[in-house]
Chain A
Amino acid sequence: MSPESLGALGLSARVATVATLVDALVGIPLAYLLARRTFRLRWLADLVITLPLILPPTVTGYYLIVLLGRRGWLGTPLYAATGWSVAFTWYAAVIAAAVMALPLLVRTAQAAFASVDRDLERAAFTLGRSEWRTLLEVTVPLARNGILAGLVLAFARALGEFGATLMLAGNIPGRTTTLPLAIYSAVQTGESAEALTLVVALTAVSCGVIFAATRLGRPAL
């Protein structure tokens, strides 16, 4: 494997890991709220979270540019304040991967939270537990497998992210060229052996992910 390919592999692992962590922080509480609370604009939250699952990745990437590009809604004030733009950095790859992977985590974790019998939570309340302690001691342990399955799926999606990453982060060798982008470049430039190596590596990882997700997806007890 060439140094460039190894670099792409390392970058992909880093991007997918960070994106999954970000999704965990945002997505798990969001999944709990969607499963257990009714609030105004719930439909909007539902829509925004789910859209990346439906839209072509390039369209999601386009929206991200509109939002975060140097002339974007958030990008302009950020650039004015710091002289820095997130576009075409590895952070951009993280953001693109996180946005694309979020629906998979939220949908899976939301179903896991919803499948926890509410009487179990009520029982914990009558036995003196606050809502927060009940969440930690009852709801999350019982939804654990579903949450982990969601994280595994999100990681896999983040690892394979191509379209939105290309739009927001570009394809800069050594900086934003993740594994899928490296495969594309290798095929484009006729390095078929290199492409094959990367394809096999990515396929192996994906198989492992499917295996892990299926095992975790089984209900607890």
Chain B
Amino acid sequence: MSRLEVTLQARLPDFVLDVAWSAEGRTVVLFGPSGSGKTLTLQCLAGLTTPAAGRVVVDGLVLFDAARGICLPPQERQVGYVFQGYALFPHLTVEANVGFGLRGQPAPLAAARTAEVLGRIGLQGLERRYPHELSGGQKQRVALARALAPEPALVLLDEPLSALDAPLRRALREELLAILEGWKVPAVLVTHDLSEAYHLGEHLIVYEAGRVRQSAPRAELLARPASEAVARILGVRNVLRGVVRDAAADRIQLDWRGQLLDVAQSPALPVRPARGSAVAFFVRPEDPRLLRKDGPPPSAAHHGNILRGTVVRETDLGVTRTLYFRLDAGGAPAQGDYDLEIEIPRFVHQVLQLEQEPQWEVSIHRSSIYLLPT
């Protein structure tokens, strides 16, 4: 377990970074769209860029503190860095690359350590190869081995898997986690891929436009995005907007597309929205239920929020299908030509004979509507 405290303010010609976060856990993931300041943050942590103001503390060790005039150079930070594209020295062999950070040590010790690291990361037999003779996955491992060999106090990984193609990427994700776990070294990873962020990070920090939008342990983040902006960055589907009609202690009524929706008071929403205020909310595509026409009539106890509409399009995702559902109510649909994305398993699609019948009633349980803090 390690603790990171980071406050950074940096001004570039066309970009302002202003972030503050702290995180505990072995792996911290900085997640966000390209150009949101993630790589710049890594460079500040490594000492490759000096921010105008802020503080960087790793497990109680101050690496940077503008107020106290402390700024350790990158050579003294004991921070390993796996660069995007790996930045292996092309004129050096695998062995020399991995041993590059061990120069302070006596040659026999450094050689033994290099051999040990190569062995642990599964690079035996490649010692004499040059980087251009390696596959993408091997390069990634060499970069990791080079960063870990000097036993850094922290390792930074910038898009460690983005240079690889999809199937390899998934396999190496597991391997990367296992290596970080095995070396017991805290890591800060940067990615713009949500599934990667979720898979690799114990703690996730959402970046956008040089700011932190949310910093939370993994489980909390996806269950409870802190805002509409975070929900959109996280790629949450069916992020919608309505107006509060009524707000009581345990339930809220929303007006959306001319429909009245009952919403259970969300634990993520400590503040009760005021009557008449605009709010954002989301509905997970797997939550709405299509009501069988041959079944019993809907009961209020089981089926809140019944909406009538038409399936305008659908996408076959193999195991599941996504239906694009437009309400029959007048007015412009909420998301282009549809109001809701609904995802159903393939067999349900077959049982309900959806290709013959586009008209449906859909129910959304009141606890399936998540209000987002604005």
Contacts and interface: CB of A to CB of B under 8 A. Distances in A.
Contacts of A119: 83-85, 87
> Dominant SS at the A interface?
helix
A124 interface: yes
A130 B47 CA distance: 13
A78 interface: no
Interface residues of A, number: 17
A126 B74 contact: yes
A120 interface: yes
A176 to B, nearest CB: 43
Contact of A120 (B46, B87, B101, B147): B87
Interface string A117-134: 101101111111110000
Contacts of B100: 124, 127
B88 to A, nearest CB: 8
A122 B48 contact: yes
Contact of B87 (A122, A128, A129): A122
Contacts of A142: 90-91
Given A119-B85, A221-B130, A221-B132, A126 B90 contact: no
A126 B89 contact: no
A128 B91 contact: no
A129 B89 CA distance: 13
Given A122-B74, A142-B90, A221-B91, A128 B101 contact: yes
A119 B163 CA distance: 15
A26 B150 CA distance: 37
A209 to B, nearest CB: 25
Nearest to A129: B75
A213 interface: no
B150 A128 contact: yes
Nearest to A219: B90
A41 B83 CA distance: 33
Contacts of B318: none
B128 interface: no
A123 B81 contact: yes
A141 interface: yes
A138 interface: yes
Interface residues of B, number: 27
Interface string A130-148: 1000000010011000000
A25 interface: no
A127 B83 CA distance: 12
Interface in A87-136: 117, 119-120, 122-130
A127 B100 CA distance: 7
B91 A126 contact: no
B103 interface: yes
A117 B87 contact: yes
A138 to B, nearest CB: 6
Contacts of B91: 141-142, 220-221
A125 B75 contact: yes
Interface in A22-37: none
A127 B102 CA distance: 8
Nearest to A141: B91
A101 B101 CA distance: 39
B80 interface: yes
Nearest to B80: A126
Nearest to A142: B91
Most chain B CB neighbours (cut-off 10 Å) among A117, A125, A138, A142:
A125
Interface of A: 117, 119-120, 122-130, 138, 141-142, 220-221
Given A122-B74, A127-B101, A127-B146, 19 more contacts: A117-B87, A119-B83, A120-B90, A122-B48, A122-B81, A122-B87, A123-B146, A125-B47, A125-B48, A125-B75, A126-B47, A126-B75, A126-B79, A128-B103, A128-B104, A220-B90, A220-B91, A221-B91, A221-B132
24 contacts: A117-B85, A119-B83, A119-B85, A120-B87, A120-B89, A122-B43, A122-B87, A123-B83, A123-B87, A124-B100, A126-B47, A126-B48, A126-B74, A126-B81, A127-B101, A128-B101, A128-B103, A129-B75, A129-B103, A138-B89, A142-B90, A221-B90, A221-B130, A221-B132
Closest 9 CB pairs of A and B: A127-B101, A119-B87, A125-B74, A126-B81, A119-B83, A123-B87, A221-B90, A128-B75, A126-B74
